[in-house]
Amino acid sequence: MTAAAEPKENWRDTILAGLANYIDAGSIVAGGAALALWETDYALSKDGVGIIGAIGPNAIGAGIGALIGGWLCDRLGRKTIYQWDMLIYAVGMALLVFAMAPWMIFLGFGIVGLAVGADIPASWSLIAEQAPDDRRGKHSGVAQVLWYLGPVVVLLMSLALTSLGSLGPRIVFAHLLVIALGLTFLRSRMKESVRWEQSQKSDVKRPPVASLFQGKYLKSILGLVGMYGFWNLWAGTNGFFFPYILQTVGDTSQATAVSIQALSFAIGMASIYFVFMRLSDKVNQRTLFAWSAVIQVVGMALLAVFPLTVPVALLYVFLLQFGGGFGAQSFFQLWSSEMFPTALRATAQGLCFAIVRITLGVFSFFVPLLTATGFTTLAWILVGFLVISGVIGWLWAPRNEGKSLEQLEAERQAA
């Protein structure tokens, strides 16, 4: 598909599908902003804080949801999954809105994580399959902007509602509940992916799932999981625990912590729009990724070398979010959509996403314990994660800019 032939509804469908990212990131950061209040209101232990981070949309819950949802998506269609999973999400979010005991928080976050995870491969597959060949990065970037917009809205709401105490997070969760219900209605009017429908009618035999663990597909999975997995250990820890770290280690107020976090995502949105969306379809993607990795490593090293003060945090925020806007998160969505055939695309994305998020879930359980023993140690560990991610991405990164999904698959088959 060329840009000239692009239907107008493609951008509408990209936004509706990409709102999965808004829901995902909004849920993570809403939990992060509420974490300190929950810890006080429900007398949660360090283990309890770790469990909340591990089972929710930030980690294990989302990973399991993506694994199951991706597999179902390739068999039942993209539309079936990304429409109905929002109702499941609404159930989990309702538990958080009306939570009266710790078990409701644990169960609600677990359900939210499953639903968010299932939605991601369906939405990302749809976006890639309906985008023009020379604008696939640009369409993917819209979804990433929405991923950053969710935290900005959530954090600004949290800041405005700070004086309400524990009622504030409930209102924030309620807004995500309303969006999920609205998405269920709006997505019912969307069309199924044409490429997926064609793959179901094709005379070519559907490749078995086992083929993902062979040859080029296995190499792609290892490259994606390595590049995004190590980066996500940093990003997941930052996204969920940064307000908590600022309050407990940096000794700042909740309002200051939330303001800094909101600023970080706003910078990321600008980076996605002005760099990734404008360049990823045109320039050498490997070079673009490498610059992102270098900028983020420098930014993370600031927290390892200098005391955690507000000026250091602001510089850290700028470097990490500016570099991150055209880095691992954006390229993971794009490359994971490009490196597999249509019949297995969502399954492969769900598998990669599951490995990354479940790994993060295991790691998140230990983050509160690590911060209690010394934040500098954790900071150096996170620097190491970014370095490893950058090296893997630089060595593995494909050159897919401007090519159709069919052309990319033909090249893999020829190889």
Per-residue pLDDT band for 378 (boundaries 50, 70, 90) equals confident
Closest to 328 measured CA to CA, from 379, 370, 387? 387
- For residue 265, the domain's CATH number is 1.20.1250.20
Environment class of 224 (CB within 10 Å of its CB; exposed 0-12, middle 13-18, buried 19+): buried
Q: Judge whether 125 lies within some domain.
A: yes
Q: How far is CA 156 from CA 30, 159, 214, in A?
A: 10, 5, 46
Of the given ranges (28-32, 106-110, 255-259, 384-388), which has the lowest mean pLDDT? 255-259
pLDDT for 41: 78
Q: Judge whether 203 lies within some domain.
A: no
Is this model's pTM higher than 0.85 or not?
Answer: yes
pLDDT for 249: 62
Give the whole-number percent of the chain exceeding pLDDT 90: 45
H runs (alpha helix) in 249-374: 254-271, 277-279, 285-305, 310-325, 328-338, 345-364, 367-373
Radius of gyration of the chain (CA): 20
Average pLDDT, the chain: 86
Q: How far apart are CA 196 and CA 191, in angstroms?
A: 11
pLDDT for 407: 92
Per-residue pLDDT band for 245 (boundaries 50, 70, 90) equals low
Of the given ranges (35-39, 73-77, 345-349, 379-383), which has the lowest mean pLDDT? 35-39
Q: Judge whether 199 lies within some domain.
A: no
> Hey, which of 16-30, 51-65, 382-396 has the most confident mean pLDDT?
382-396
Q: Judge whether 346 lies within some domain.
A: yes
Q: Judge whether 1 lies within some domain.
A: no
Q: Is the pLDDT of residue 224 over 70?
A: yes
Number of domains in the chain: 1
Mean pLDDT within 214-239: 89
Mean pLDDT within 73-85: 87
pLDDT in tens, 160-191: 887 888 888 899 999 999 999 998 888 888 88
- Residue 238 is part of which domain span? 13-193+211-414
Give the whole-number percent of the chain exceeding pLDDT 70: 90
Q: Locate 376 and state its tokens.
A: 């500098």
Per-residue pLDDT band for 202 (boundaries 50, 70, 90) equals low
Q: Judge whether 200 lies within some domain.
A: no
Q: How far apart are CA 380 and CA 190, in angstroms?
A: 46
pLDDT for 156: 85
Q: Judge whether 111 lies within some domain.
A: yes
| Residue 276: DSSP 8-state | I
Residue with the bigger pLDDT between 230 and 21: it is 230
92-118 in b/e form (b: 16+ CB < 10 A) is bbbbbbebeebeebbbbbbbbbbbbbb
